[in-house]
Amino acid sequence: MSEITNKNKILILIQYLLGYLVVYPILLGFLVSFVYKIVGKDLSYEIQFLFYVVFLLYFCYLCKPLLMDLFNAVKTRLLPILKITGKNLLISYALNYVINIVLMMFINDTSSANQIAIESQLITSPILIIFVSVVFAPLVEEFVFRGVIYKYIEERKGFWIGACISSFLFGGMHVFFSIFSFNFMDLIFAFPYMVQGFMIAKNYHETKSFLGAWLLHFLNNYIAVTILLLLR
């Protein structure tokens, strides 16, 4: 399998960690305000959707080797990868169940700011948040945290260090915006995301394919969004 070039790895990290998490949200806010002044209409939904589509396509281009690995695995090793993924999905849910019990015992809450935001956006912008949660996030986040960060460290330091570091960053990303709102209590919810990130790295390691990483992330998000929609 061909590898992502070092140049593209650097672009991926810069575009995601600096662009997606910091710069682009600010620029999108200015763009929405500017468009509103010009046309007199709130096009924030359309602008956000376009941004996510373009960003996803750009990352698919940068991470073409990972996509090729995914497609090849679907054609040649789908059944064994499904079996391993199913096992790790059940383990992931069991771990999350224990974590939720602990969170309820100590802080009487199991919902992060990220989770609350998703639930709210499912009401106001259902198509957008479904696209972001089920299509955009499983691919883009796996490109970054498993395809680049985990794989780079794993090849040099082994599975455990690669899985732990990439999972720590994965968990921190999901509570990143709570820092700016001074909601420091929300940082405790990074832990469940870290566990999820570790299980995804474990699935990547055991399946020996990017399909394993993407599939576990996709199934987790798909099931979570489906449950939220059914409970509306």
Contact of 73 with 213, CB cutoff 8 Å: no
pLDDT for 1 equals 52
**What are the structural domain ranges in the chain?**
64-230
Q: What is the pLDDT of residues 38-78, one digit of tens each?
A: 999 999 999 999 999 999 999 999 999 999 999 999 999 99
- Taking the C-alpha atoms of residue 157 and residue 162, their distance in angstroms, rounded to an integer, is 7
Summarised one tens digit per residue, pLDDT across range 3-31 is 899 999 999 999 999 999 999 999 999 99
Q: Are the CB atoms for 190 and 171 separated by under 8 Å?
A: yes
pLDDT digits (tens, 9 = 90+) for 97-149: 999 898 888 777 767 777 777 878 888 889 999 999 999 999 999 999 999 99
Tokens of 216: 């576990």
- Whether the pLDDT of residue 155 is over 70: the answer is yes
What tens digit of pLDDT does each residue of 176-205 get? 878 777 777 778 888 999 999 999 999 999
